[in-house]
Amino acid sequence: MSDTLSKRPGPARSHAPHGTVPVRPLRGRLSFLARPRTLAVVLVLVLVSAFTLALSVSVGDYEVPLSAVPAAIFGYGEHLDVFFVQDTRLPRALTALGVGAALGVAGAVFQSLSRNALGSPDIIGFTSGAATGAVAAILAFGAGRLGVSLGAIAGGLITAAVVYLLAMKNGVQGYRLVLVGIGISAMLSSVRDYLMTRAELTDALGAQIWMIGSLNGRGWAEVAAVWIAFVLLGGVLFAYARRLRFMELGDDTARGLGVNTRSTQIVAFAAASALTGAAIAVAGPIGFVALAAPQLARRLTRSGGTTLVGAAAMGATLLVVADLVALRALAPTQLPVGVVTAVIGGTYLIWLLYTEWRGGRA
């Protein structure tokens, strides 16, 4: 019998890209590619965040034993343990996780759209726009917390629209987006400085404190606000994650793969800008998390493109760790978390520019 006749057709094989595993839950009605290394990195980051959260709600002037934290979170145990954990420390830690995750995702989207490691809300002016909107609400209108939040979101969206329109020419190019954003950010800084000179001393002092970025005094209202924004706006961005990865290959390639690049840019820009504004509205302009988190996640996962899940996990971990450091490790009194993230992020930015310079010389 010939070899040809002895062969029988077997089941079709699916060839997944190297480093990925096909997952088909719901009896094959849903399928996606999972990267074991990415899943492992995200799992480690989640565990680090959970442990840091437990430490954050444990330490303070009134020490809660680490073993008593789980019970206190669910309302059991000593009365004072439950009070300090549920009413003061847990909301702050959960706010840190939500703000960090939101900034990580927003930074990853902006870097993906600009195809530039510097294309984060801090650099291209969206953070500055949200901060200017909040400061204007404080100084010009004497707004309370709700008004400041709305001013931050409005400022971020308006700045995003202006930067997008000025940078748009046959699609958004990374270098043009960064340059336009830096220019807009410098102009907005001048506006904020002018508003400071015209304000009353107490109002200017309050605005300056808010500008540093802090999680002090954050409660369950802030937890609900940032996590609702993350679920709604982050859900939109996660739904566009595949299109964003295609667009990193170039607009022409993305169009060839069936991606409407213009609508993807608009939706992603709007959602990421609103997410940035929501995070800043809750915690103030906390710098450099949106810049560093996506890059660190990409390096750890060794991913060739943007990984929104990794950026969210890394951003949450960075901010909750930075808040713990600001809370206890650096000074006998609490520091604003924005001071710690500025030191960490500034160091990372110097290292990033140095490595880019060395790569350019090579």
Pick from 103, 99, 97: nearest CA to 48 = 97
Going by pLDDT thresholds of 50, 70 and 90, the confidence category of residue 105 is: very high
Q: Is the pLDDT of residue 230 over 90?
A: yes
**pLDDT value of residue 12:** 40
Asked if 291 and 118 touch (Cβ cutoff 8 Å), the reply is: yes
What pLDDT sits at residue 13?
A: 44
Q: Which of 293, 276, 274 is nearest to 284 (CA)?
A: 276
Give the model's pLDDT for residue 332. Answer: 56
How confident is the model over 112-168, as pLDDT tens digits? 888 777 778 877 778 888 888 888 887 877 777 778 788 888 888 888 888 878 877
Contacts for 188 with CB less than 8 Å, ≥ 6 apart: 125, 128, 129, 131, 132, 159
Q: What is the pLDDT of residues 48-101, one digit of tens each?
A: 999 999 888 888 778 888 888 888 888 887 888 888 888 888 999 999 999 999
Averaged pLDDT for residues 329-357? 74
In whole angstroms, give the CA distance from residue 275 to residue 99: 9
63 CA to centre of own chain: 31
Instruction: Count the alpha carbons within 13 Å of 81 in the hemisphere toward its beta carbon.
Output: 17
Question: Letter for the amino acid at 329?
Answer: A
Does 5 have pLDDT greater than 60?
Answer: no
Determine the Cα–Cα distance for residues 81 and 84; give it in Å rounded to an integer.
Answer: 6
Using alpha carbons, select from 148, 160, 125 the residue that is nearest to residue 282.
148
Question: Which H or E run contains 33?
Answer: strand 32-34
CA 10 – CA 44 distance, rounded (Å) = 39
Domains of the chain by range and CATH?
36-212+224-350 (1.10.3470.10)
pLDDT in tens, 275-302: 988 898 888 888 888 888 898 888 888 8
Contacts of 80 by beta carbon, 8 Å cutoff, 6+ apart? 62
Least confident of 40-49, 72-81, 205-214, 350-359: 350-359
pLDDT number for residue 3: 42
Q: DSSP H helical segments within the chain, as ranges?
A: 3-6, 36-58, 69-73, 79-82, 90-114, 126-141, 145-167, 174-198, 201-212, 220-239, 241-247, 251-256, 261-283, 289-301, 308-324, 337-361
- Which has more pLDDT, 1 or 296? 296
pLDDT, mean over the chain: 80
CA distances (Å), 214 to each of 122, 218, 299, 333, 334, in order? 16, 9, 28, 14, 10
Neighbour-count burial of 76, counting CB atoms closer than 10 A to its CB (0-12 exposed, 13-18 middle, 19+ buried) = exposed
Taking 90 as the threshold, does the pLDDT of residue 228 lie above it? Answer: yes
Model confidence at 33: pLDDT above 70: no
Predicted confidence at residue 6, as pLDDT, reads 39
